[in-house]
Every structure is written in structure tokens, then in C-alpha cells.
Amino acid sequence: MAQNIKNQLKKSKVWLANKIKLIRKTNQPITNKVSSWGGPAGIALIFFLIILSCFYSSSEAQTLKQQLLRNPQDLKSQLKLTEIFLTNHQFIAAEKMLSLMESNQKNNSQVLALRQQKNLSDPEDIKKMITFWEKILTEKPHYRDAYLQLAVLHYKVWQNEKAEEYLKKALITDPNFEPTLKLKQLISFP
């Protein structure tokens, strides 16, 4: 019985060695073909991507930037690009565009509207406005508009507890002031 098991093991080792040799012979030409085509195929792929990128349409922001490179004074492109920056919360880029437009266009209503939109969207500007309104409240402690502004500003920066506190103070100062009542419904504090 032990002799029979040894013979079976010997036969299986020989069988396995033959299979490994067969697999190596079969795979060798395939690997040679793949490696010989890998370099040229990679170069062709890169070339194809470069050509494709020439025909690929760029984003609206990229198009506007290219227009501004050709004509830096194009107010329409500047305004649209600033709107895109504000929509995408790119406040530093929007600030640069606004400063540029304000230096060239002193009293343009569209530029002023974008400046206001940026001030009401940028968390850094909101913090500055909060500081401003808090200073007003130290000088005029019963100024309902300051409480209302602080409620709105704190709500914009997700400080709901402070927003609720200032809204309640605005309601105590003037319980029938319509903007405060509308804000209470909008924020829906209990």
C-alpha cells in the first residue's frame, strides 16, 4: 500500500511538471506579442487623447477666461465669470474680479449687486458684518434692525442658537415688525 502511494505521488509530480511546461510554452508567445505592442499602443493612445482634447468643448468659465485674455476690459465676461465664481463658492477669485471691476467701473449697478451677493455669501464677510452689527448694538441696544440683521447673519453661518436668540430680541423690541415675523416663519423657531 505504501509503495502504491509513492508511485501515485511520483506519477502526479511528473504529470504536474508536464502541465507546467505546457503552460509556459503556450503563454510565452502571447507575452511576447503583448509586450511588443504595448509601447506603440500607449503612444497611439496619448496621441488620440491630445487630438480629442483639441475638439473637446471647454467649460463656460474656461471660455470666459479665454475671452478676458483677449479683451481684459470686457465687462460682460467679467460679470458672468464673477457670477460663476460666486455660484461655486470661489470667494477669493470673485473678490479679485470684483476689485478689478470696481476700479474700472465706479458706479455700475451690476457690479454693486455682485458685491452684495458676495458679501452675503462669503463666510468671512458675514463674520465681518456680524462684528459690525454687534458694535452697533453696543451703541444702540434697542435697535431692532440690528437684532434682525444679526439673526439673519448667524443663520447664514449655521449658528442657529445665536440666530434664535437675536430673533427673539428683535421680537421683544418690536413684536409687530413684519420682516421679523416673516423671518420667524422662515426659520421656524418654536
Average pLDDT, stretch 143-163?
88
Residues 9 and 44 in one domain: yes
Residues 90 and 52 in one domain: no
At 1 the three-state DSSP class reads coil
Residues 139 and 173 in one domain: yes
Residues 107 and 149 in one domain: no
- Calculate the alpha carbon distances from 183 to 16, 21, 122, 148 in Å: 81, 82, 21, 8
pLDDT tens string 75-107:
888 889 888 888 888 889 888 888 888 887 666
- How far apart are alpha carbons 103 and 3 in whole angstroms? 100
Please, which pLDDT band fits residue 131 given cuts at 50, 70 and 90? Answer: very high
Per the structure, the complete domain to which residue 38 belongs is given by 1-56
Give pTM, 2 decimals: 0.57
Give the domain CATH number at 157: 1.25.40.10
Residues 50 and 64 in one domain: no
Q: How many domains does the chain have?
A: 3
* Domain termination site, one of 20, 41, 56: 56
